[in-house]
Structures are given as structure tokens and as C-alpha cells.
Amino acid sequence: MYATLDDITQHLELGSAEGLVAPSNDFDAYDGPEAILRAAFRTRQLDGREPHVVEFRIDGIDDALAVLPPDATVLRSVVDEDGDVYLYARGRDYGVLTFTGSWLRASVSAASRERALAIADGMRERAPAPVDDGLTPIHTWYRSGNGPTSTFRRMEAPTWAEIAANYPRSTRAAVGRLHEMVRPRATGKLILWHGPPGTF
């Protein structure tokens, strides 16, 4: 049986979704084993037991076990071909889904927003202080069989001061102004520089 919001007259007053929504998961050849971890993590959000989720990231962490709460038990794990690790863990009254590559991405679910925030804060506190390795974070998005996805890597990159002299004066001035801008919070910004090779 499938239910939609059209079938539920009191949907603005819903508490637990049990009995009202019958979630199902469909997997196909494009889904990797990490899709099963995501589905397991989301089950308690769908049925209303843990409707509150906090998502966050911690730079410089490549081992989620180092920051998991002491009472959390890892129920499922996946290590992909790049050595990136997915974990699904549960505590007494919360769930944690993590992905670690060059950084840690985590989602915490709980029955209340305050509990989810407390678990997330505890994980951040257990993280070691970040070390400046001089590398530049690069977040690359691309289209995959599962739709938009991304990778995150840290790469060596020269500073603007080191390469500014490689550009003509007019370009150097314009790009220099871009480097003086402050990165915005909570919103995305895009600068598109296009043209044939050598465009400036």
C-alpha cells in the first residue's frame, strides 16, 4: 500500500508516521552497498521515531571511529574502491551515518532536535584539532548513475601571490579583487570563467 499526503487529512498535525506511511526502498544495479546504509539510517526518520537530523562535517578526519560516541555500535560498514569508509552506527536513542574520505561527513538522528545536536556536538569535541597541511580543499561535483554526486580531495595549489605575475596587469587586477572577497556562509556562489584556452 502506498499513501500520499492527499490520503492523509491531518498531515500538518502528524507525530509518528507509523500506520500512515509505508516507505519502501528500491535498489538497482546502479546502487552501491552504501545505499543500504542510507536506507537503514533513514528508516527511523520515515516512521517518526527519530524525526530530527543534524548534518555536519569535520575537516581533517579520516577515521569516524575516533569521534563516534562511546556507546555507539557499528551495525554496517562499507569500504569503497578509493578506501573511503561509510558507517552506520546506533546508540541507545540515536543513529549516526558517516562517510570519511579526506574529511568526515556525518548525520545524526534522534527523537528530539536537542538530543541530535548534543550527539553531534560530542562528535565535534572528540575530533582532534585540525592541522594546516598547506593543501587546498577541492570539492568536485559530477553526474553518476545515481544522479549528482561529489568527491572531496585536498591538493597542492600555489597561492595567488605566487602566480599573480603570470597574468596581464588587467587580469591580475580583476582576479586580485576576487581573491579579496570573503567566502559567504550558508549560501553557494559560483564564478564561471569561460572561453578557449588562454582566456583572460
pLDDT score recorded for residue 4: 46
The continuous run of DSSP H or E covering 141 comes out as strand 136-144
Spatial CB neighbours of 3, under 8 Å, sequence gap ≥ 6: 20, 21, 22
Please give the model's pTM, rounded to 2 decimal places: 0.63
User: pLDDT per residue over 168-197, tens digit each?
Assistant: 888 888 888 888 877 666 565 677 777 777
Q: Mean pLDDT throughout 54-80?
A: 91
Distance CA 137, CA 58 (A): 13
Residue bearing cell 561509510? 86
132 falls in which pLDDT band (50, 70, 90)? Answer: confident
Q: Is a pLDDT exceeding 70 seen at residue 2?
A: no
Q: Is a pLDDT exceeding 70 seen at residue 25?
A: no
Q: Is a pLDDT exceeding 70 seen at residue 133?
A: yes
pLDDT score recorded for residue 13: 52
User: pLDDT per residue over 71-112, tens digit each?
Assistant: 999 999 999 887 889 999 999 999 999 998 767 899 999 999
Cell numbers at residue 137, please?
580543499
- Residue 172, CB-side half-sphere exposure with 13 Å CA sphere: 10
In sequence order, what are the beta bridge partners of 53?
109
198 falls in which pLDDT band (50, 70, 90)? Answer: low
Amino acid identity, residue 54? V
* Phi, psi angles (nearest 5°) of residue 95: -125, 155
Contact present, 184 and 191 (Cβ < 8 Å): no
